Chain A
Amino acid sequence: MAEPVLALEGVSRHFGGLMAVNNVSLAAREGSITALIGPNGAGKTTLFALISGFLRPNSGTIRYRGADVTSEPPHRMARRGITRTFQIAQPFAGLTVRENILVGAHLRHPARRAAIAVAEQIGHELGLGASLDRPANTLTVAGRKRLELAKALATQPNLLLLDEVLAGLNPSEIRDIVPVIRALCQRGITIVMIEHVMQAVMRLAEHVFVLAEGRIIAEGSPSQVVANPGVVEAYLGRGAAAKLGVTHAN
């Protein structure tokens, strides 16, 4: 089997006495969609911050395409092809949608004309074509999520870290955006996504890691993971699995 695009080995990070991420190892296969799920406060976003260079791990190594990238700053990660989105969309509020995407496009295209062309093309692809001239802060929640994706995509990443791009969307908006994410994967972009919307995880993810209290407590295909009593208990509390009749089927 080919070497994974992303491989974490024993990555830990604590804040004072709180072990936010505890000895986490995981891998993402090239061209796949990997989901990271877990209850609130499990350390998912911290883990993303570690992978994207916003935080440094206290121990462990992060490898990207075989190279050790542990503790590299975010801009260098982005240059390597790792781009993250934020759970709470972070638009450049005072700028238009086109200008927002342009910031990302400039990473690979120093010339203004080329960068604007790329930004507009990505804007159209993600259904923002009609709002390219609108200030980013006038977009709806769904629009902001799309913009968050467009900005990241403009950097032409190989590995995209999506932090809850579906959160806050209504079911029809989720239905609209799921194919967009699948299309990205078909273009060869490896995706790791944090997601609470299980319906989407089931439809999109090839492999799922479950994080609870900073540790990976389960992994496998989506259907394996939801049937895992340990996972059910992590979400609903001890004993919940027995009450719901989830057994060690696997």
Chain B
Amino acid sequence: MRGLAPVFAVVVVMAVVPLVGVSNVTLNFLVIALITALAGQGWNVLGGYGGQYSFGHAAFFGTGAYVTAVLQVRYGVNAWIAFGLGIGGGALVGAIVGGLTFRSGLRGSYFALVTLAFAEVLRIAASVAPITGAGVGTLVKLDLRPVALQFQSRAVFYWMILALVAVALIVTRLIERSRFGVWLIAVRENEDAARALGVNTTAVKLAAMVISGAITAAAGCFYVQYFLFIDSGLAYGTWISIEALLTPIIGGVGTVFGPLLGALVVRGLGEGAQIVTGGEAPGLDLVVYGCVLVLIIWFAPRGLIGAFAQLRNRVMRPARLVETGHG
């Protein structure tokens, strides 16, 4: 399990943050950054490792959020169970969207556009369907008990989202070192070559989309439990689709820690822009995202982690998919 050591190290360091007396504002900032990181981790499985760039990960985020909220509010389902079903809902949407797009052989920008369309269709449907609360949205009743998956303390919420991020980190690392991961990366690098070597590329992409959907849906489920409110714009809006792909691209696409690093940087810069302007320029964070994205693509196309690796390369060999010597 030596491949998981860096994951544990990072998670342990992050877990002690609430114990050193940081303010609730800081903790709130970190929780939101981790929600973005989790959504980005989902995107990274499909986009980073599989090379299938989705523009519609809101479809998964929103489904997770709505399933968690609606089951609790309308059907009285326990929050923990609703949370689990929300993740399952994201996986199901992944299977449906993936089944339709990959079976019909959509690649590249066509795939991106179709995923965007799916998310938009869901957004419009959620804004009119009575079950989602239509335009008003759905409010989850305040009930600060662990059994209702709500906590008095921000720190507990922070540990919960950190645990979800940790699970996603471990899943990503295990994928990276499995046959499935090798095949997924092969699909990204050269789909025809992969097929010639016996890779069922449709099945591999579909499986990646299901995992990806489940992880991003978990971010949506948590979002609802944290804010206790969801509407169609929050759930299925393009904001989350953009953040889900922005964080891994900035952090390092197809790397285990890329989305986490990207989320902290992106969210940090957005927050910084707000502080500098005294909150008088709403939307400025989006301008900052745009500038950062341009700079990253220009100077570090493999993201921040790629840029670090390049620097480190001059001193020692890069950590690769297969370690040198006997793995």
- Residue contact A151 to B179, C-beta cutoff 8 Å: no
Contact A98 B193 (CB under 8 A): no
Residues of B within 8 A of A152 (CB): 196-197
Task: Type the 1/0 row for A28-39, where 1 means its CB is closer than 8 Å to any CB of B.
Answer: 000000000000
Complex alpha-carbon distance, A106 and B198, angstroms: 9
Contact B199 A103 (CB under 8 A): yes
Contacts A102-B182, A106-B182, A112-B327 hold; do A151 and B193 have CB atoms under 8 A apart? yes
Chain B, range 149-186, C-beta contacts under 8 Å to A: 177-179, 182-183, 185-186
- Taking a contact as CB atoms under 8 Å apart, the answer to whether A106 and B179 are in contact is yes
Contact of A93 with B by CB under 8 A: yes
**B189 at interface, CB cutoff 8 A:** yes
B312 part of interface (Cβ distance < 8 Å): no
Contact A83 B196 (CB under 8 A): yes
Task: Report the bound CA distance from A90 to B187 in whole Å.
Answer: 12
Q: How far is the CA of A74 from the CA of B200 in the complex (A)?
A: 8
Instruction: Give the CA-CA distance A180 to B88 in the complex, in Å.
Output: 51
Once A75-B198, A84-B196 are accepted as A-B contacts, the answer to whether A103 and B186 lie under 8 Å apart by CB is yes
Q: Are A92 and B198 interface neighbours, CB within 8 A?
A: no
Q: Is A229 an interface residue (CB 8 A)?
A: no
- Kindly state the separation between the CA atoms of A78 and B317 in the bound complex, as whole angstroms: 34
Q: Which residues of B lie under 8 Å from residue A115 when comparing CB positions? A: 179, 182
* Stretch touching chain A among B17-25, B36-44, B318-326: B318-326
Contact B190 A75 (CB under 8 A): no
Contact of B197 with A95 in the complex, beta carbons under 8 Å:
no
Given the interface contacts A92-B189, A96-B322, does A116 sit within 8 Å of B197 by beta carbon?
no
Q: Decide yes or no whether B194 CB sits under 8 A from chain A.
A: yes
With A99-B182, A110-B179 known as contacts, the answer to whether A75 contacts B199 (CB < 8 A) is yes
> Is there an interface contact between A86 and B196, defined as CB atoms closer than 8 Å?
yes
In the complex, the answer to whether B197 meets A107 with C-beta atoms within 8 Å is yes
CA distance A152 to B194 in the complex (A): 10
* Docked complex Cα distance between A103 and B182 (Å): 6
Q: Chain A contacts of B178 at CB under 8 A?
A: 112
B326 engages A78 (CB within 8 Å): no
Q: Is the CB of B196 within 8 A of A52?
A: yes
Interface size class of A (residues with CB under 8 A): 35 or more
List residues of B (4-26) whose CB comes within 8 Å of A's CBs. Answer: none
Q: A54-B192, A95-B189 are contacts. A102–B197 as well, Cβ < 8 Å?
A: no
Please tell me if B103 contacts chain A, counting CB pairs below 8 Å: no
Q: Report the minimal beta-carbon distance from B313 to chain A, rounded to whole angstroms.
A: 12
Find B195's partner among A74, A94, A106 (CB 8 Å cutoff).
A74
The answer on a CB contact under 8 Å between B189 and A104 is: no
Q: Which of A91, A116, A154 makes the CB contact (< 8 A) with B326?
A: A116
- Distance (Å) between the CB of B208 and the closest chain A CB? 16
Q: Which of A83, A94, A133 contacts B197 (CB 8 A)?
A: A83
A124 at the binding interface (Cβ < 8 Å) = no
Tell me whether A175 is interfacial, beta carbon within 8 Å. no
Q: Does A238 sit within 8 A of B, measured CB to CB?
A: no
B322 touches A90 (CB 8 A): no
Q: How many angstroms between the C-alpha atoms of A39 and B192 in the bound complex? A: 25
Cβ contacts under 8 Å, A45 to chain B: none
Question: Once the chains are docked, how many angstroms separate the CA of A90 from the CA of B177?
Answer: 23
Chain A's closest residue to B191 (CB) is A90
Given contacts A54-B195, A74-B195, A107-B197, contact A93 B327 (CB under 8 A): no
Q: Is the CB of A99 within 8 A of B321?
A: yes
Which B-chain residue is minimally distant from A74 (CB atoms)?
A: B195
Closest 3 CB pairs of A and B: A78-B198, A92-B189, A90-B193
Chain A residues at the B interface, C-beta cutoff of 8 Å? 52, 54, 73-76, 78-79, 83-86, 90-96, 98-99, 102-104, 106-107, 110, 112-113, 115-117, 133, 151-152, 154-155
Q: A73-B200, A103-B197 are in contact. List 12 more A-B contacts (CB 8 A).
A: A54-B196, A79-B198, A90-B190, A90-B192, A91-B190, A92-B185, A92-B186, A99-B320, A116-B322, A116-B327, A133-B320, A154-B197
